[in-house]
Amino acid sequence: MGKTIIVSNRLPVKINEENGQLVFTPSEGGLATGLGSIYKEGDNIWIGWPGTTAETEQIQIDITEKLKELSLIPVFLRKEEVKRYYEGFSNEVLWPIFHYLSTYANYDYHNWLSYVQVNQKFADAILKQLNPGDTIWVHDYQLLLVPGLIRQQQPQVSIAYFNHIPFPSQELFRLIPWRKELLMGMLGADLLGFHTFDDVRHFLSAATHLLPVQADANRLRVENRIVLAEPFPMGIDSDKFSNLSKDPTVIQHIQNFKKNFADKKIVLSIDRLDYSKGIIERLNAFELLLEKNPEYLEKIILYMVVVPSRDSVPQYKLLKDEIDRLVGNIIARFRTFQWSPIAYFYHGYPIEIISALYNVADVCLVTPMRDGMNLVSKEYVASRNDNTGVLILSEMAGASKELNDALLVNPNNISEIRKALVSALNMPEDEMQDRMKAMRAVVFKFNIKHWVKIFMARIEDVKQMQRDSRAN
Ligand code: F6P
């Protein structure tokens, strides 16, 4: 049995240069913590971009050496590549199309060329580390061509791919000028994983409409090779969030928050800055609540954390301005001398603060317009050890398929979100407990370890199916 090579655009550590020193901080994402358990095992490794452009050769050597101790292999990107491959193609074509915002897409040919070239760079880095018997697990939309590029060089190797964002209807996907190349790239894998059954359906529909491939249910035949496309809803490290709620530092933060917001209901909103997250609509819904339900004036706070992200991409800059404007308007309209309806923060927080917020929030309001899974909703549930709290969740988040004891809403319907807020704030204790218990059972059972285990086992199954089909 060979090693597993995990590949993603970003490595699970972030590197910054501060005062001439390299500062390594672990990434907090679900992917990083979840796969942490397997990439540290045996000879397994993780290949990805360390998040810095590391201009000089000496800095690259230093970073490479330090990362090696952590079983991490860096792929360095030049500034131009960050601009074209990451910001330009990944985040100005694939991200908006995959999130159903086709009018935001910017089909720049040079950005596409850079995407091809950087995917090749990742493929070369993988091939350098590859030994017979290894399994390659590629993650997310930034690297759609990588499975195909590897397959050309290594026809027998085991390759899996997981898509962390939604896969759109083929009517949207087919708008991309390089749609066939992208699909062919994905089909280099033996196993293609998606969060939901609908994502799988959309992918199969795109592949069979746009390429000369046949599908038998979720099994495709690509140049005489079996390829499976299946749903694997991603879980979180639920124990970690549950245990954090008992951590003394977190408890201290919880007490401070409780003191500051003594007689107020706290509605929590946490996202990366992104137009897919429905932040504007959420603010509109909150404004409507204050307007239609004056009984909540001075009794409620929307605690809104927006984590800076991709702010060199034009649509993200515009969104930031729009959020700032709207928050300002709502505060100016409703605030009193003793109270402000929104506490708005535009930066990231350490996990201990996030955990404390999950613990003090009476309601967690998660209303993306479109989301592959949405881990915040699961982290909130995992943090609520006493089974209190209400989750309001968008139907458009992959998590809504599993967390159907949340109050599910259409994120475009601000009146429905307002009503859900009223229901949440008035929910009888026993109903709240029943709903939270049911959601916790799901989040703890189908956690990240379970996700990794079933996904890895399925790669073995596909390889066996391929051997059986060759033997017949
Ligand atoms: O889950 C989607 C995703 O794009 C991941 O691939 C990525 O690690 C995360 O969101 C954060 O995005 P970025 O790497 O662009 O900051």
pLDDT at residue 374 above 90? yes
Number of H helices, E strands in the chain: 18, 17
Q: Is 195 in the pocket of ligand 1 (CB under 6 A)?
A: no
Q: Tell which one of 98, 140, 448 to mutate to probe ligand 1, the residue whose CB is within 8 A of the most ligand atoms.
A: 140
Residue 29 confidence (pLDDT): 63
What is the rounded radius of gyration, in angstroms, for the C-alpha atoms of the chain? 23
Report which of 238, 236, 161 is spatially closest to residue 199, judged by C-alpha positions. 161
Which residue's C-alpha comes closest to atom 12 of ligand 1? 309
The alpha carbon of 32 and the centre of ligand 1 are apart by a number of angstroms equal to: 11
| Closest atom, ligand 1, to C-alpha of 86 | 15
Share of the chain above pLDDT 70, in %: 99
Contacts of 63 (CB under 8 A, 6+ apart): 15, 22, 50, 52, 54, 74
Q: Is 309 in the pocket of ligand 1 (CB under 6 A)?
A: yes
- The model's confidence at residue 28, banded by pLDDT at 50, 70 and 90, is low
pLDDT at residue 471 above 80? yes
Q: Is 10 in the pocket of ligand 1 (CB under 6 A)?
A: yes
Instruction: Report whether 94 contacts 310 (CB < 8 A).
Output: no
Residue 219 confidence (pLDDT): 97
221 - beta bridge partners?
214, 226
- 110 C-beta neighbours (distance < 10 Å), count: 11
Length of the chain equals 472
What Å distances lie between residue 195 and 138, 167, 398, 410, 454, CA to CA?
15, 9, 7, 19, 13
- The model's confidence at residue 136, banded by pLDDT at 50, 70 and 90, is very high
Report which of 375, 318, 424 is spatially closest to residue 29, judged by C-alpha positions. 375
Identity of the residue numbered 241: F
Instruction: Report whether 196 contacts 185 (CB < 8 A).
Output: no
| 233-250 pLDDT, tens digit each | 999 999 999 999 999 999
Q: Is 370 in the pocket of ligand 1 (CB under 6 A)?
A: no
The alpha carbon of 66 and the centre of ligand 1 are apart by a number of angstroms equal to: 23
Which residue's C-alpha comes closest to atom 1 of ligand 1? 164
| Closest atom, ligand 1, to C-alpha of 309 | 16
How far apart, in whole angstroms, are the C-alpha atoms of residue 6 and residue 159? 10
ipTM higher than the 0.85 cut: yes
Q: What angle do CA 168, 173, 178 make, to 5 degrees?
A: 145
Residue 72 confidence (pLDDT): 95
Residue 116, H or E segment: helix 109-129
Share of the chain above pLDDT 90, in %: 88
- The model's confidence at residue 367, banded by pLDDT at 50, 70 and 90, is very high
The alpha carbon of 302 and the centre of ligand 1 are apart by a number of angstroms equal to: 25
Q: Determine which of 35-39, 192-196, 349-353 has the lowest per-residue pLDDT on average.
A: 35-39
Q: How far is CA 305 from the centre of its chain?
A: 16
- Give the orientation angle of helix 375-383 with respect to helix 429-445, to 10 degrees: 120
The alpha carbon of 148 and the centre of ligand 1 are apart by a number of angstroms equal to: 22
Instruction: Report whether 48 contacts 72 (CB < 8 A).
Output: yes
Q: Tell which one of 87, 99, 165 to mutate to probe ligand 1, the residue whose CB is within 8 A of the most ligand atoms.
A: 165
| Closest atom, ligand 1, to C-alpha of 95 | 4
Residue 380 confidence (pLDDT): 98
Which residue's C-alpha comes closest to atom 15 of ligand 1? 310
Give mean pLDDT, residues 253-259.
97
Instruction: Supply 269's token pair.
Output: 């909103």
| 92-111 pLDDT, tens digit each | 999 999 999 999 999 999 99
Q: Is 348 in the pocket of ligand 1 (CB under 6 A)?
A: no
How far apart, in whole angstroms, are the C-alpha atoms of residue 276 and residue 262? 33
Residue 30 confidence (pLDDT): 63
426 exposed, middle or buried (CB, 10 Å; 0-12, 13-18, 19+)? exposed
pLDDT at residue 447 above 90? yes
The alpha carbon of 356 and the centre of ligand 1 are apart by a number of angstroms equal to: 24
Which residue's C-alpha comes closest to atom 16 of ligand 1? 309
- Pairing relationship of beta strands 219-222 and 45-49 according to DSSP bridges: unpaired
| 140-194 pLDDT, tens digit each | 999 999 999 999 999 999 999 999 999 999 999 999 999 999 999 999 999 999 9
- Pairing relationship of beta strands 219-222 and 13-18 according to DSSP bridges: unpaired
How far apart, in whole angstroms, are the C-alpha atoms of residue 120 and residue 173? 22
